[in-house]
Structure 1
Amino acid sequence: MSTPLRRLPAVEEQALLAPLLPAAGAVVITARVADQRVIAAAGVAGDGRTAAGPETRFETGSISKTFAGLLLAEMAARGEVAYDAPVDRFLPPGTAPRSRGGRVTLLHLATHTSGLPRLPAALLLRAGPRWFSDPYAAFGTDELLASVRRSRPRPGHRVRYSTFGIGLLGLALSRAAGTPYPDLLAARVLHPLGLHRTDCGQDPDQATGYWHGRPRPPISLPGMPAAGAVRSTGRDLLAYTEALLAPEEAGPGLPESLRTGLAEAVRPRLAVRPGGDRVGLVWNIRRRPGHDLYFHTGATRGFTTFAGFSPQARVVFTAAVNQTCGRRADFVQQAYLLLRGLADGGVPQGVSGTAAA
């Protein structure tokens, strides 16, 4: 996208941030409405000195899962994997799930219909001492495969959100390509899209996350990076969702496999209930009068994030804060309402106006 990202005028910035701003910490939001691209930010990144801005890196939590869905679509476009391929085709011998009625496919994993639980039972046991700091740190690939082998899923029966399932999807894609997942994601998705500040790496460059006012260490997911290891910035999250909004505008040099993947990642795959919400590759899709809202949230032990867009309304909205707010917290609800309001035409003055900071 060639339109420059601009800072909102102070009055509009404060009005837009007010519903999202926590008592302390940093919050960054970005939006695109029609051809206007804007950013608003407040607070400090965690060291007490650096003001939050477009390059502040946040843990994205479960928004990482949407990147895994896009990677699946990109690899399917290349013919390297098939959506209906059973996941055990890409696993070591003797580690397949013991499914009850049919085999678990890659599409089952990407649409949360694999029948796998939200988290592996073994992870919950190991995570106990680290639950409020870095709960996934002791759960590696061997532990994931052992949990898969012990699982008894019933695939295709119903939508059941599963971090376990997306972690397994990432492992399957990695093994299919013969490349570690973080490197594969970077080569196939992040670098081609120009997301140069987005990756799965732990580094001191990211903001400090907080849980109830206490600083938390960076999250580590050695066994399931696809499920929650991605770090990103407001600028990159905006560019990522813009590419999903309009793959045809994502740049002339983009590989056709990725352009196809962008379109396939957001294609509705199933209905959660007749006439109601739908599911793409990981993305939630909510039907509204005249348009659809695509959205996903993320949370770690120190961060909360939101990303959403409406193709018909040509609206994108992302929000990130370096505090754990919980899945049902005001931050997530207010972020969704801001996306919905923008898509419904409730455009703040600074978004649609011409003044630039």
Structure 2
Amino acid sequence: MNGADRNLPALVEAAGPSATAVTLAMAQGSSTEVRCHGRLGRALSAPDCTPDTVFELGSVTKTFTALLLAAMAARGELTLNDPLELHLPYPWRPLTVRSGGPVRLLHLATHTAGLRRLPPGLLAGAVRAWCSNPYGAFGEQELREAVARTTVRSRPGSRYEYSNYGVALLGRLLAETGGAPYAELLTERIGRPLGLRTLTCAADAPNRAIGHRRGRALPPWRMPGLPGAGAVRASGADLLRFLRAHSGARRGESGGEGHGVLGAALREVQFPRLRLPGSGDEVCLVWNHRRAGGRDLFFHSGATRGFTVFVGFSPQTETAVAALANTGPTMDGRFLQAGYGVLTETAGNR
């Protein structure tokens, strides 16, 4: 297997001149490759990028939140159909629903809760830091106030609308039910069982790449009030372990977790829940699902102001791909398209 060596140059080109570090992690069956390019920053003294270099994952965080939800459901701590209010911290006021039934956890994990992309009140405090850390001033209190101010105008479950707010709120509810902050719960329930040593929400994570936007170095991404939507960091090597756990779950492998609670959760997140309007694509628990060439492809992307990430896997072909760059996303999405192209090519060759 030499797919990573062949595809890394194209990813480096797609990342553009702002990126100083690019990682491509790939798996086919039992064979794995992690190839890296560049350094953690622009200084000549900056350490080299390695398989253990930590990148900000942006919205790829949501796939971890989905797995945490499914794992807690498999343990009997909650159900996907639980109303949001059942897990709301005390004394938070519930949001208002104009019509239909309550907002359920499943709605939050499938972007069908009727919530906007961002919580009310966030934009007003984000303007000054919009190009670097727009979520940095939005904390626990701001999220609590946002929930109390929210009115859901469409019937929950009736319409798909991608929502950072919804998945972030889901992460907060899981933390409340699990009895620990989101970051601790993620490490205990997901990171340790899967052997993800670099998985963290900490902005000062060791061995981290420095994010860049248009050639300018940026401070670490911070999401104190919305970690479940985009605060996770991990290395390319650990992302590959995470993806292989998903692709192996159907065969009872998953790094020793193919059976039991986590194995059940890894399978649960791959079950399609709805079809996107005007598209053959489906939404699972956070994951996007597409049939291509008779194969199932599951994929998600993520970005912060200084990083861009693509992840995907195909269970039938035992294929997994993670592409990471320490530069913010471009309008044409060329890095994400390149990552998706590596996934489809690799899965098609299996």
Same fold (TM over 0.5): yes
Partner residue, 1:222? 224
Q: Deviations over 1:14-64 (max 9, x none)?
A: 555455342241100111123221122111111533111201100000000
Contact 2:5 2:35 in 1 (8 A): no
Partner residue, 2:304? 300
Partner residue, 1:273? 277
Partner residue, 1:207? 209
When residues 89 and 76 of structure 1 are mapped into structure 2, their CA distance, relative to the original with a 3 A threshold, is same
Shift of 1:9: 9.2
1:88-127 paired onto structure 2 within 5 Å: 88-91=85-88, 92-93=90-91, 95-100=93-98, 101-127=100-126
Shift of 1:237: 0.3
The answer on 1:44 being equivalent to 2:44 is no
Inter-partner Cα distance in structure 1 for 2:331 and 2:21: 18
1:11-26 paired onto structure 2 within 5 Å: 12=6, 15=9, 17=11, 19-23=13-17, 24-26=19-21
Contact 1:17 1:40 in 2 (8 A): no
Shift of 1:121: 2.7
Shift of 1:93: 4.2
Q: Secondary structure at the match of 1:241?
A: helix
When residues 17 and 233 of structure 1 are mapped into structure 2, their CA distance, relative to the original with a 3 A threshold, is same
Q: TM-score, normalised by structure 2?
A: 0.92
Inter-partner Cα distance in structure 2 for 1:172 and 1:110: 12
When residues 10 and 173 of structure 1 are mapped into structure 2, their CA distance, relative to the original with a 3 A threshold, is closer
Inter-partner Cα distance in structure 1 for 2:264 and 2:309: 26
The one-letter code matched in structure 1 to 2:214 is: H
Partner residue, 1:335? 339
Among the aligned pairs, what percent are the same residue? 42
Partner residue of 2:328 out of 316, 324, 328? 324
Partner residue, 1:352? none
Inter-partner Cα distance in structure 1 for 2:75 and 2:255: 19
When residues 255 and 290 of structure 1 are mapped into structure 2, their CA distance, relative to the original with a 3 A threshold, is closer
Inter-partner Cα distance in structure 1 for 2:223 and 2:150: 20
When residues 10 and 31 of structure 1 are mapped into structure 2, their CA distance, relative to the original with a 3 A threshold, is closer
The answer on 1:54 being equivalent to 2:45 is no
Aligned residues: 340
Q: Which moved more, 1:143-152 or 1:223-232?
A: 143-152
Contact 1:20 1:335 in 2 (8 A): no
Inter-partner Cα distance in structure 2 for 1:140 and 1:47: 31
Inter-partner Cα distance in structure 1 for 2:257 and 2:347: 29
When residues 309 and 204 of structure 1 are mapped into structure 2, their CA distance, relative to the original with a 3 A threshold, is closer
Partner residue, 1:132? 131
Q: Which moved more, 1:220-229 or 1:42-51?
A: 42-51
Partner residue, 2:158? 157
Shift of 1:344: 1.6
The one-letter code matched in structure 2 to 1:117 is: R
Q: Deviations over 1:58-109 (max 9, x none)?
A: 0000000100000000000000011000111111345211012211110000
When residues 18 and 144 of structure 1 are mapped into structure 2, their CA distance, relative to the original with a 3 A threshold, is closer
The answer on 1:71 being equivalent to 2:68 is yes
Q: TM-score, normalised by structure 1?
A: 0.90
Contact 1:116 1:162 in 2 (8 A): yes
Partner residue, 1:34? 29
Q: Secondary structure at the match of 2:97?
A: coil
Partner residue, 2:189? 188
Partner residue, 1:351? none
Q: Deviations over 1:160-196 (max 9, x none)?
A: 1000001100010011111111101110001110001
Shift of 1:289: 2.4
When residues 136 and 251 of structure 1 are mapped into structure 2, their CA distance, relative to the original with a 3 A threshold, is same
Q: Secondary structure at the match of 2:161?
A: coil
Q: Deviations over 1:139-168 (max 9, x none)?
A: 111111211121122311111100000110
The one-letter code matched in structure 2 to 1:210 is: H
Moved over 6 A (4+): none
Inter-partner Cα distance in structure 2 for 1:14 and 1:173: 37
The answer on 1:174 being equivalent to 2:175 is yes
Shift of 1:273: 3.5
Q: Secondary structure at the match of 1:58?
A: strand
Inter-partner Cα distance in structure 2 for 1:200 and 1:94: 24
When residues 278 and 341 of structure 1 are mapped into structure 2, their CA distance, relative to the original with a 3 A threshold, is same
The one-letter code matched in structure 2 to 1:30 is: A
Shift of 1:329: 1.8
Inter-partner Cα distance in structure 2 for 1:141 and 1:230: 17
Shift of 1:130: 0.9
Inter-partner Cα distance in structure 2 for 1:329 and 1:225: 24
Shift of 1:275: 7.1
Inter-partner Cα distance in structure 1 for 2:325 and 2:136: 22
Q: Which moved more, 1:64-73 or 1:264-273?
A: 264-273
1:252-267 paired onto structure 2 within 5 Å: 252=256, 256-267=260-271
The one-letter code matched in structure 1 to 2:31 is: Q
Partner residue, 2:295? 291
Shift of 1:222: 0.9
When residues 10 and 68 of structure 1 are mapped into structure 2, their CA distance, relative to the original with a 3 A threshold, is closer
